[in-house]
């Protein structure tokens, strides 16, 4: 009898345990739950962590993540307003704000990912197609502002007579009115309205990567190479022009230096000759015989050589100083 009672007690405890397990569920932080009965939601979603109760065997609990989740799309081809074919790779963050609506419409996270992808792709195409490519690439007009500052600086220095190569290279940069970050906000705004009816809140959208379509990528690269070659040729041309200017100034300065040196040399030579004439004149006045003798010696030196033969009269004045010397023989 006691054994039967013990078995009955064990059975009762097991049944109670099973009923208790089926009646209680645990909701962890970061989760929200919806209780369903025969597949239909019962009551409001439970969002606070803790213990919850339900009818055993009849009601089921479906858990939904309430943390921020990521969506990462695949690159899609989009045409910009200026007819550029690009591939846009987007990513987004989202979370479930209404678990009941979420389960009733998209059934779960997998269905949500598919729905987010469809809505975001459509919003991305709509927004980018209304803007030029430069709006999706740049965030601000910082480059344009820098070029304007550089041009102003160069203009001020050129006014002072300085020459720059940079002023020939600073082209025009297209100004943007929206920018990449604003495009992301516009995409998020367009997509948010479509996702709210699924119980999904879109937190933000980012344009992760933008690239040219392969069909036009080669042509774009060829055009970029061509533009760079033109810039390189312009640099070389400007460099050759600067070289010619420098060489011209160098030649001019050299001629000026040589002319000045020649003038000074002539002045010094003139002064020296004047002094020489003055010395000769002074010698002529103070000692005419000595002067006549030195001049005659110079004439002999320039006239006679070892093989020279002359027929001169012994009374010639040219032989005045040789009559008694060995040179007269």
DSSP class of residue 57 equals: T
Distance CA 25, CA 308 (A): 143
Q: How many residues in the chain?
A: 329
Segment 204-227, tens digit of pLDDT: 999 888 887 776 677 767 777 887
Rg from Cα positions in the chain = 53
Q: How far apart are CA 164 and CA 238, in angstroms?
A: 9
Confidence of residue 93 (pLDDT cuts 50, 70, 90): very high
Instruction: Tell me which residue has tokens 């010639």.
Output: 316
Flag whether pLDDT at 65 surpasses 80. yes
Other CB atoms within 10 Å distance of the CB of residue 268: 10
What percent of the chain stands above pLDDT 90? 16
pLDDT of residue 252: 87
Residue 84's pLDDT is 82
pLDDT score of 67 more than 70? yes
Helix (H) / strand (E) element for 116: namely helix 109-128
Q: What is the pLDDT of residue 126?
A: 93
């Amino acid at each position: 009898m006691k054994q039967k009672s013990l078995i009955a007690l064990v059975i009762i405890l097991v049944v109670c345990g099973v009923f208790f397990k089926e009646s209680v569920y645990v909701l962890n932080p970061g989760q929200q739950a919806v209780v369903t009965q025969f597949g239909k939601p019962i009551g409001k979603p439970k969002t606070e962590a803790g213990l919850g109760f339900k009818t055993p065997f009849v009601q089921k609990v479906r858990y939904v993540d309430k943390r921020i989740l990521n969506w990462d799309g695949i690159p899609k081809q989009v045409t910009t307003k200026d007819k550029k074919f690009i591939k846009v790779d987007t990513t987004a963050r989202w979370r479930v704000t209404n678990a009941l609506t979420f389960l009733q419409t998209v059934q779960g996270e997998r269905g949500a990912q598919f729905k987010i992808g469809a809505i975001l792709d459509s919003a991305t195409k709509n927004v980018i197609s209304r803007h030029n490519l430069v709006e999706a690439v740049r965030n601000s007009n910082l480059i344009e502002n820098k070029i304007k500052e550089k041009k102003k600086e160069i203009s001020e220095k050129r006014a002072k007579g300085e020459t720059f190569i940079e002023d020939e290279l600073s082209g025009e940069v297209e100004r943007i009115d929206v920018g990449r970050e604003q495009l992301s906000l516009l995409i998020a705004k367009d997509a948010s309205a479509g996702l709210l009816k699924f119980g999904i809140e879109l937190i933000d959208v980012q344009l992760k990567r933008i690239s040219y379509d392969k069909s036009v990528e080669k042509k774009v690269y060829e055009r970029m190479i061509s533009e760079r070659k033109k810039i390189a040729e312009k640099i070389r041309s400007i460099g050759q022009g600067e070289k010619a200017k420098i060489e011209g100034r160098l030649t001019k300065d050299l001629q000026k230096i040589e002319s000045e040196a020649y003038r000074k040399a002539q002045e010094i030579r003139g002064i020296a000759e004047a002094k020489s004439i003055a010395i000769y004149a002074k010698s002529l006045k103070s000692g005419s015989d000595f002067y006549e003798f030195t001049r005659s010696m110079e004439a002999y030196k320039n006239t006679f050589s070892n093989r020279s033969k002359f027929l001169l009269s012994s009374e010639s004045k040219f032989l005045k100083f040789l009559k008694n010397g060995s040179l007269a023989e």
